[in-house]
Structure 1
Amino acid sequence: MTKLSTDTAQASPTKQFFVSMLTRDIKLEDAILDLIDNCLDGALRQSNGELPTYEKYWVRIRLAKDHFSIEDNCGGIPREVAKNYAFKMGREADDSRDADTETIGMYGVGMKRAIFKMGRNSIVKTRHGNDTYEVPITAQWLDATNWDPLPIHEPTEAKEKLEQPGTSIYVSELNEGVARHFSNPAFVNEVITAISQHFTMFLQWGFKIELNDEVVKPVHVEVLVSPREDGPAPYVYQKTDGDVTVSITVGLNTSRRSEDDDTDDDADFAGQRASATAGWTVLCNDRAVIVGDKSRLTGWGDLPLVPLYHPQFAVITGIIEFRAKDAMKLPVTTTKRALDASSELWLESLVKMKEGMRVWISYTNDWKNHPRSDQQSHWQDAQPLSLSSAIEAVASRKSARTSSSLNDVGSKVDVVEFNPKKSSVLPKPDAKKPSSKRIVFSRPVEEVRAVSKMLFDDPGVNAGTVGDECFAIQLALALPSKTRGG
């Protein structure tokens, strides 16, 4: 028998341990993306569950050797939310602010973790409606052993108030190494790339993000779809089970890297050069968690069904998106830039992902020894479409399969499937044509333009066309009977 005691054992975490461990497992660029996520969540909350008009929202970021700043016009933080939720180290069970909004925040640590990752002094200034206030997080507060509430200050000067509803965060006394990263152009470019990928959908919808005065442009992740009922189209699978929707498409990509990619390489048809979006892109509530993955994580190398990725498959793009109002149901980690590969939802989806990959692996095997022009003729009317547009276009075809059922708890399950191989819409090479070899070489742009001018009286003809014409001229000399008129 034990005797009850009035003594107690302390079980609360020390502040130094909590802050150190909270920031150890997140990259600096991911901390910046976390803050942008908060801006987007603010815009979503402004729309009351509807799709926001993203064109009217913006985020401006500054990376400098002595400070970090981020400012938005996405509605700001209501004072009651700041007092009870926003600055807590974790999310309370009764925090139901986003119950009807497809945000991606789960644990209530993103803003604080990002600030602690960067520096020891910060001030969060926000305006919600006409109410402007600021919350400082100082080095003294971080060094103190207790968890005192953070003060809320009222700006007294007009210049200290934000011009429109939104939030501004300024971090100074940067941590060791952070200032060096912020003044490194290579790191700044890495952050720009990460933003262009992670927020590609929002950027395409008009959301504006500037980093050091540079407007960030989206990386397009698209597949080719013919508008014809019997035209080539991607593999499609979509399943809505209760309040979770999984959407998958696998098809040929356009090899377009970004909006301003005006390269004159052979990019007029998918597959003429490796694409930044070849492989798998995984989205969760419109955020791209992974872009262009070509590893075992997304099924590559899962023999015997799927081989390891190699350049033949640079034409293949797969896109999968998970949507849920409850972010805890998404297969994503707290950094929002990595997958929870042990999630049952992910493992179930991986089966369909590999099924779609198999279709296009077989397609590239069928065509790899045949002239590009023969394949290109079948895709002339195909247009690059995003995941949602591709599914909408393919789901309307008569050969698409749809079904509805009830799951174990009585919720409706809707499924849309389209397999282009089973629907016989994929072009097949002419078996009677002889095998061919692909010729690939590079020459300086000035030389290509000079030859193009000589052959076509136009220096801007596509490099592939110039190469084909050069070969045809030499072939006519080597085999006169093979001239185009013979």
Structure 2
Amino acid sequence: MNAKTDKAKAIPTKQFFVSMLTRDISLADAILDLVDNCLDGALRLAAGAAVDYRKHWVKILLKEDSFTIEDNCGGIPRKTAINYAFKMGREAKDDRDAENETIGMYGVGMKRAIFKMGRDATVTTLHGNDGFRVPITSAWLDDKEWDELPIIDTVGSDRLGEAGTKVEVTALYPGVARHFVNKSFVNDLSTSIAEHFTMFLQRGLLIEVNGVSVAPVLVEVLVSEDEKGPTPFVFQQVIDDVEVSIAVGLNTGRGLPSDEDDGPSFEGDRSVATAGWTVFCNDRAVIVGDKSRLTGWGDGIPLYHYQFSIVTGIIEFRSKHAEKLPVTTTKRALDTSSDVWLQALVKMKEGMRIWITYTNRWKNHPRSDQTRHWEGTSPKPLRAVIETVSERAGATKSDGRIEYNPQKQKVVPLPEGHKPSSKRIVFSRPVEEIRSVSKFLFDSLDEAAGIVGDKCFDLALQDALKQQEAE
């Protein structure tokens, strides 16, 4: 006799899924997620070739009663819409981005953004000659069943003018509607776009917010054209299928401390804002100008203060395996437990120490004395820095690893008459041990203890310098 077998439902309720999906992401980050989707479309459209971002645009319109984002980045193929694009999560077999350097991993970005803003939305797309729209209604949200969404062909004026996608959200939540008519929120959103997508904007991508184009925030460090001039610390290595690139140096001469005070003297630029660490993952800036323990400040390194407003570090993680990047689902926060991040942090601190020491040595000297050392330098973004510095004498290259330490190459400017600071080393050892070392070093049992200790340090220093040269 067969026992009766019942089945327990194991799917999430729609109300729970939607509320939890949107809880931990800000409104601005949800909009940035939609811009990310536009850029992913441009990558897929290029089919492995280099993307000419000058041909692409993204337009965002915020109103009290609606949100719209539209692009010309290729649109959504019907097969993708049927099988993947509107699912609440990414299928394991969805390998559309296997050869693209993107940061999307979970397949929730578009849906999460829509649910964050309102209760009615329409996604209209044109891919090639195939145009259609997919409505997501409040009635569908309220229905406890996970019914399939309709795909409706578009004709005439309903079709988009060129291949791309348009997302419209209506029935906005009251708090969202208030944000959209708040000038401060619109300005902050534009700044976030300028920072997060700076690499794409610099390559010609047009992004508009309420009809105003967004200019990129430049994150750069100074590099001398002279090989003997000031040069950033540089490091590059592939770690677990992730290419890690680091540059640490000074930002702009306008950020150098003035003679009159200890604070920054920047003339309309963003030296102070971009000081600290900027972290890129596949061209997206995850964080910009971080000055906290997150990026090492105060952890074996001094806490950030205005003396360091000229110090800028840039690090980028690149990989076709998005799941290996040290970034969270919001794409605007770091996964600091990631092994690739922890390994990179060691080199980040190494570069920081060079320029923190630099600011300590120069802080009591006139600004004019400092700036003359930087007259032959120009600001460069991370990739240009790597390309320039990796070809210089003193750059070490082996097994795909590149490293340049400006301190070892003696190209970090020193104040005139600077002498290395000294510290007294005092320690005690048993007399018989000192006599044994004295006999070994000087062939005498009775050499003075201070001379024995001094000789031991000199020998250890010679070994240390040889090892540094070998590295």
Q: Shorter chain as normaliser: what TM range?
A: 0.7 to 0.9
Contact 1:274 1:311 (8 Å CA) reproduced: no
Shift of 1:129: 0.4
Q: Matches of 1:255 and 1:80 in 2, distance apart?
A: 53
Contact 1:255 1:276 (8 Å CA) reproduced: no
AA paired with 1:124? V
AA paired with 1:380? E
Given the alignment of the two structures, is residue 234 of structure 1 paired with residue 220 of structure 2, yes or no? Answer: no
Where 2:274 maps in the other structure, the secondary structure is coil
Given the alignment of the two structures, is residue 391 of structure 1 paired with residue 397 of structure 2, yes or no? Answer: no
Given the alignment of the two structures, is residue 215 of structure 1 paired with residue 213 of structure 2, yes or no? Answer: yes
Given the alignment of the two structures, is residue 32 of structure 1 paired with residue 31 of structure 2, yes or no? Answer: yes
Shift of 1:241: 3.7
AA paired with 2:176? V
Deviations 1:92-150 (A, max 9, x none): 00000000000110000000000000010000000000110000000000000000000
Percent identical among aligned pairs is 63
Which residue of structure 1 lines up, in the alignment, with residue 252 of structure 2? 254
1:252-291, aligned counterparts within 5 Å? 252-254=250-252, 267=266, 275-291=272-288
Which residue of structure 2 lines up, in the alignment, with residue 309 of structure 1? 304
Q: Matches of 1:103 and 1:253 in 2, distance apart?
A: 28
Where 1:332 maps in the other structure, the secondary structure is coil
Gap change, CA 1:255 and 1:78, over 3 Å in 2: farther
Where 1:275 maps in the other structure, the secondary structure is helix
Which residue of structure 2 lines up, in the alignment, with residue 79 of structure 1? 78
Where 2:34 maps in the other structure, the secondary structure is helix
TM-score (norm 1): 0.82
AA paired with 1:335? T
Which residue of structure 1 lines up, in the alignment, with residue 6 of structure 2? 7
Given the alignment of the two structures, is residue 331 of structure 1 paired with residue 326 of structure 2, yes or no? Answer: yes
Which residue of structure 2 lines up, in the alignment, with residue 445 of structure 1? none
Alignment partner of 2:407 out of 421, 432, 438 = 421
Shift of 1:279: 0.5
Shift of 1:255: 6.7
Gaps of 5+ in 1: 258-264, 405-413, 434-486
Shift of 1:426: 1.0
Deviations 1:366-414 (A, max 9, x none): 111111111111111101000000011100001001111xxxxxxxxx2
Given the alignment of the two structures, is residue 402 of structure 1 paired with residue 388 of structure 2, yes or no? Answer: no
Q: Matches of 1:245 and 1:122 in 2, distance apart?
A: 39
Gap change, CA 1:268 and 1:69, over 3 Å in 2: closer
Where 1:322 maps in the other structure, the secondary structure is strand
AA paired with 1:76? G
Which residue of structure 2 lines up, in the alignment, with residue 192 of structure 1? 190
Contact 1:220 1:256 (8 Å CA) reproduced: no
Deviations 1:184-214 (A, max 9, x none): 1111111001100000110011000000011
AA paired with 2:182? N
Contact 2:194 2:217 (8 Å CA) reproduced: yes
Deviations 1:214-242 (A, max 9, x none): 11011000000001111110000000246
AA paired with 1:114? A
AA paired with 2:94? D
Contact 2:253 2:371 (8 Å CA) reproduced: no
Q: Matches of 1:105 and 1:400 in 2, distance apart?
A: 35
AA paired with 2:117? M
Which residue of structure 2 lines up, in the alignment, with residue 342 of structure 1? 337
Contact 2:244 2:315 (8 Å CA) reproduced: yes
Moved more, 320-329 or 370-379: 370-379
Gaps of 5+ in 2: 256-263, 420-471
Q: Matches of 1:330 and 1:199 in 2, distance apart?
A: 17
Deviations 1:71-111 (A, max 9, x none): 00000000000000000000000000000000110000000
Where 1:246 maps in the other structure, the secondary structure is strand
Which residue of structure 2 lines up, in the alignment, with residue 457 of structure 1? none
Deviations 1:398-455 (A, max 9, x none): 1001111xxxxxxxxx21000100111111101279xxxxxxxxxxxxxxxxxxxxxx
Contact 2:253 2:374 (8 Å CA) reproduced: no
Contact 1:269 1:376 (8 Å CA) reproduced: no
Which residue of structure 1 lines up, in the alignment, with residue 57 of structure 2? 58
Q: Matches of 2:331 and 2:49 in 1, distance apart?
A: 23
Q: Matches of 1:316 and 1:206 in 2, distance apart?
A: 28
Where 1:177 maps in the other structure, the secondary structure is helix
Alignment partner of 2:373 out of 369, 378, 389 = 378
AA paired with 1:193? T
AA paired with 2:47? N
Q: Matches of 2:33 and 2:227 in 1, distance apart?
A: 42
AA paired with 1:191? L
Shift of 1:274: 5.3
Where 1:164 maps in the other structure, the secondary structure is coil
Q: Which portions of structure 1, spanning 4 or more consecutive aligned residues, are displaced by more than 2 angstroms?
A: 265-270
Deviations 1:21-49 (A, max 9, x none): 00011000000000000000001111112
Q: Matches of 2:207 and 2:132 in 1, distance apart?
A: 24
Q: Matches of 2:172 and 2:54 in 1, distance apart?
A: 33
Gap change, CA 1:248 and 1:108, over 3 Å in 2: same
Where 2:21 maps in the other structure, the secondary structure is helix
Where 2:153 maps in the other structure, the secondary structure is coil
Contact 1:254 1:269 (8 Å CA) reproduced: no
TM-score (norm 2): 0.85
Gap change, CA 1:246 and 1:362, over 3 Å in 2: same
Which residue of structure 1 lines up, in the alignment, with residue 163 of structure 2? 165
Aligned residues: 410
Q: Matches of 2:253 and 2:391 in 1, distance apart?
A: 26
